Structure 1
Amino acid sequence: MKRGFLLIILSFFSFPALAINDSINSILAIGPEGKGNVNAAEAWKKLTSNSNLETLTMVFEAMNKAEPVASNWLRSAAEIIFKNMQTDQYDSSSFLGEYFLNENNPSKARRFAFELIRENDPEVAAEIIPGLLNDPSPELRRDAIDLLIKKGKSLEETGKKKFSYFSIQTGSKFSS
């Protein structure tokens, strides 16, 4: 009797994660020429109606497995979930920061988390960019490299050629 009750309790708590996972898998299964779009649309609705950290984390994790079309569906779902969490008074911004800073997280998802940070707080994003020069993710390093090259060109325009050369060369070195 106790064992059956325990199984019922455990299945109740794991059901949301299974439903989220099923929805994500439906989106990941989108094929060429719109194959699976109907299932993906239904899955997308389920994901976006479940706006919490667990869902957002699972969507982020799936981004690296996704083909381009599925990736668009997942990005859209993540954006809606994030916006819903903001209106529901979740501390979603600190979650994004923590997720983004963890270099063990998938690079595509980290990049998207950074884009959400930039969209919601451009000043914070601008402060983060210079620190991305040594980031293991090429998607994130690119912003720091671009900034360094722009600074070099700006220095060159103001007549500080020695410093501009260093800045541009450093940016070019990190871009390879």
Structure 2
Amino acid sequence: MKPAPSAKPSVAPKQGTSKTVLGAVIVGVILLAIIVWSQSGSDNDDSAMPTPPASAEASAEATVEPTAEATPTEEAAPVAAVEAPSKFVALKSAEGLTLRWIAPTAMDGLTGYNVEIRANGKGDWNVIATVPADQLTQSVTKSDASGWTQFRVTSVYADGQTASAAVFGIPGVFA
């Protein structure tokens, strides 16, 4: 007896799935473009700041003019926007680490950065370097393999305001 011949499909496979996948990809790309476009507007300081009324602008302009009563001991005018450095990372180097960060977009009044460390995540922060606003790296030396060290970089503005980047820790003692 002969074995029964295998049944062949009588209907060709449906090709609709490739159209569905293509449609899903197009929708995903459009959604991604909308998200990126909406987030790109948030980097603009002008859109983030409320527009003051005309009377406030006029009074602000009037106070900018120097007066006979102005004294050299007056504090700096408040900075409108304060922002922390971003993408704060540590890169291994021959002597220890090179700390690197991206400057904040709020540059008006930025005077520099404080680079700080703290042993084992406890106690006060110690400033190990104060660098100018155009310096975006700082080298630190590893002195011991025990314990761990937390690192922080802080934007410092002319009016004394500060903003800190995300803190992270690395095994070892650094200075």
TM-score in terms of structure 1 length: 0.26
Which entry has the higher C-alpha Rg, 1 or 2? 2
Greater share of helix residues, 1 or 2?
Answer: 1
